[in-house]
Structure 1
Amino acid sequence: MSQLPTWWFRTEHFWIDYPHWRMTPLLKRYYLMQFAYWLQQLLVLVLRLEKPRKDFTELVIHHFVTIWLVFWGYTINLTYIGNAVFLTMDVSDVVLSFAKVCNYLGWETTAAVAFSAFVCVWTYLRHFLNIKMIWSVWTQWKYVPEYSKRFEPKEGVWMVRWVQYQVMIAMIILQLVNIFWYYLILRVLRRALFGPRLEDDRSDDEDEGPDVHGKDE
């Protein structure tokens, strides 16, 4: 993202100079890897390769919407905002994974601190910044050049009004799923600060063992 004009989430550049025809090799690889990853995750859920948890429905919704946004954003040359969304998701997952490792190793204090940090990162990235991007879709559409506000796939321009609504609705759905997970995260945080151990609120069997949970993607 540092190679793009959207660095530091300058959201107006999601739309300025659209369509964004050129993608750096790194960005293109990142996009395709994201698509492959989420497709694999969806197949795991659909084929029931893992034991379903309590948030199975939310996971399926999340994965379907994410795959659609990745595919659609790549198709219509709307990759800058897609890259920004990826960043908000991936960074929070790294912190979550670290907290889980600490918990598995039995480092309860470190796990609690790491999970608290994860909650802060999740709140900022998955809610504040994502809501900022949703607001950008609604209010900064005006920055799309007038010649691009038409549906001409052969020319690489797709920015008619219904595309705006489609992108915004999909992002709102993701935000609602994240809010549901945020509720579960706060429950785990309460246990981390005031209880004996961290456990996964999604587990159907509480005896399966301790786990740190925010979202398992």
Structure 2
Amino acid sequence: MATQVSVPCRGSNGSALGSVHEIGWTETNGEKLAVGARKHGKRAKKKIDEESLMGYLCTQICEHQIGIAVNLLLLLFLTHIFFPRARRRTHKFFHLSYFNPETAKYGCGTDDLPFVALWIVVFTGMRVAVMDYILGPMARVGGIKTKKGLVRFKEQAWLICYCSCSWSLGMYIMYHSEFWFNLHGMWRGWPFREITGLSKFYYLVQWAFWLQQIVVVNIEEKRKDYAQMFTHHIFTSALLFLSYGYYHTRVGIVILCIMDLVDIILPSAKLLKYMGFSSVCDIMFGVFVFTWLVTRHTFYPMVCWSIYKDAPVDMAPGCYFADGTMIPASNTTPYDALGGNLIWPNLLKAYTDRTGPICWNPTIRYSFLALLLVLQAIILLWFTMILKIVYKVLSGQNADDVRSDDEGEDEELEDQAELERVSHPINAAKGGAEWAPVEQEVGVEALTFTSRRSPSVNGGVGVRRNSRRPARSSSGRASGISIPGHGDHKELLGRIGCDKPT
């Protein structure tokens, strides 16, 4: 018996990224063909169209996120250790830059970008590792029975893990700051050219997380609110970039803490739903709705109002120098000479001229306010969807997040014992029937350069198996070339005359 199996490789979100080869056997008399069993009569998904080379490469990147992240980190770490001349550049990836020993604080600038890039790579590998090796087993212990449920459980649990840490750290920073429940504290003393090491670490890591989320939202299966989520991540990353370059980290920390709290409670309610605790889920959903109203439709508008009302009072329009002096906007000649009415040169001052003057004008204030109000518009759109869920709960139905559930049929996870029975039909065959491999002649035209997403057909019917890791690839699959009917290495050698198959 010759068996060819390729288990579907799943990406960090559990979506099928690999291929499903066919398993086929024939009796020696050629009368019968055994086909793979499908649990509960589930139909295999339709064959996915062949993709281009670029699609194949993108698929490989998605499948090997942990390996890519680990190799990049090892390369950077080993370069830093064994090449002393390179440490002048590599140390920026591992350490916070612009430390001032006199104030024990850190400045801001372009040298911080390598640190952000490092954490993007760290989050890429960490997310998949935690989801596959920790959250996946937890989901099965929690009674998750469907493939979509497993995917959703891991995604939401990862958000809980990250946002719990980020929200706790952000609240700690705020509690020990001048702007704890003090909106004026966000503006007095601007520009904040230097901040504490903890604040800088928090801000840069948050920035890296949201940049990585732009990639994640495209890796995961498309949801109903994909456009809103993608836009939200773009605007959030842009605000972090601009606020850091314009020394507005205080207001950024406040907004991040306001947003992170909801991203802990809502995923918690979803996990309860996936595990079947419908009643507790409804209670948690009520807590979520209350928290959403307080944070995103009370505290967040208060911050926006403070930008409009308090910022002009606490931050007089003018150009501010590093030594603390200021030229007011009313002194128009030197103010204009310093570029007081310019937008981008001032917004990017930390990246272009750390020690030069930085100017504050009403146009910049309204620009920040406009970006924040766009986020509020997206939040309001989501809130209308949440109200639909509230109506369902009040009408006696269970809470169900209509914002992000994807379309399509769900499938139950395959039973391992059933898979083993199908994978070894000799043990399950009755009457001692003797089996032999299916013989096929393969020409050059049968070779296809396809993505791993494209299943190949060799006379049998596919057996789909859920796995977080692909089965050991055959030599044909290693390069992306599919040779139908040639999964066994020894058999392949016999076909080309180098060995005789047994």
Same fold (TM over 0.5): yes
Q: Is residue 295 of structure 2 the alignment partner of residue 122 of structure 1?
A: no
Q: Is residue 270 of structure 2 the alignment partner of residue 100 of structure 1?
A: yes
- Residue 407 of structure 2 corresponds to which residue in structure 1? 205
Asked whether the equivalents of residues 77 and 156 of structure 1 are also in contact (C-alpha less than 8 Å), the reply is no
Deviations 1:154-204 (A, max 9, x none): 336242222101110000000000001111112122223333323231334
Residue 205 of structure 1 aligns to a residue whose secondary structure is coil
Asked whether the equivalents of residues 112 and 193 of structure 1 are also in contact (C-alpha less than 8 Å), the reply is no
Aligned-pair identity in percent equals: 27
Could you list the runs of 5+ residues in structure 2 that have no partner in the other structure?
1-173, 321-328, 330-339, 412-502
Relative to 1, partners in 2 of residues 1:193 and 1:3: Cα closer, same or farther, differing over 3 Å? same
Q: In 1, distance between residues paired with 2:410 and 2:396?
A: 17
Residue 199 of structure 1 aligns to a residue whose secondary structure is coil
- Residue 3 of structure 1 corresponds to which residue in structure 2? 176
Q: In 2, distance between residues paired with 1:126 and 1:199?
A: 20
Residue 200 of structure 1 aligns to a residue whose secondary structure is coil
TM-score scaled by length of structure 2 = 0.39
Deviations 1:130-176 (A, max 9, x none): 11111111111221145536466333624222210111000000000
* Bigger strand fraction: 2
RMSD (CA atoms):
2.0
Deviation (angstroms), 1:96? 1.1
Q: In 2, distance between residues paired with 1:53 and 1:96?
A: 16
TM-score scaled by length of structure 1 = 0.87
Q: In 1, distance between residues paired with 2:384 and 2:396?
A: 17
Relative to 1, partners in 2 of residues 1:165 and 1:198: Cα closer, same or farther, differing over 3 Å? same
Supply the AA of the counterpart residue of 1:174.
L
Q: In 1, distance between residues paired with 2:302 and 2:202?
A: 23
Asked whether the equivalents of residues 221 and 406 of structure 2 are also in contact (C-alpha less than 8 Å), the reply is no
Alignment of 1:80-95 (within 5 A): 80-95=250-265
> Which stretch shows the higher mean deviation, 68-77 or 196-205?
196-205
Alignment of 1:66-77 (within 5 A): 66-77=236-247
- Residue 176 of structure 1 corresponds to which residue in structure 2? 377
Asked whether the equivalents of residues 319 and 359 of structure 2 are also in contact (C-alpha less than 8 Å), the reply is no
- Residue 190 of structure 2 corresponds to which residue in structure 1? 18
Supply the AA of the counterpart residue of 1:11.
L
**Equivalent residue pairs, number:** 206
Could you list the runs of 5+ residues in structure 1 that have no partner in the other structure?
210-217
- Residue 193 of structure 1 corresponds to which residue in structure 2? 394
* Bigger helix fraction: 1
Asked whether the equivalents of residues 76 and 158 of structure 1 are also in contact (C-alpha less than 8 Å), the reply is no
Deviation (angstroms), 1:53? 1.2
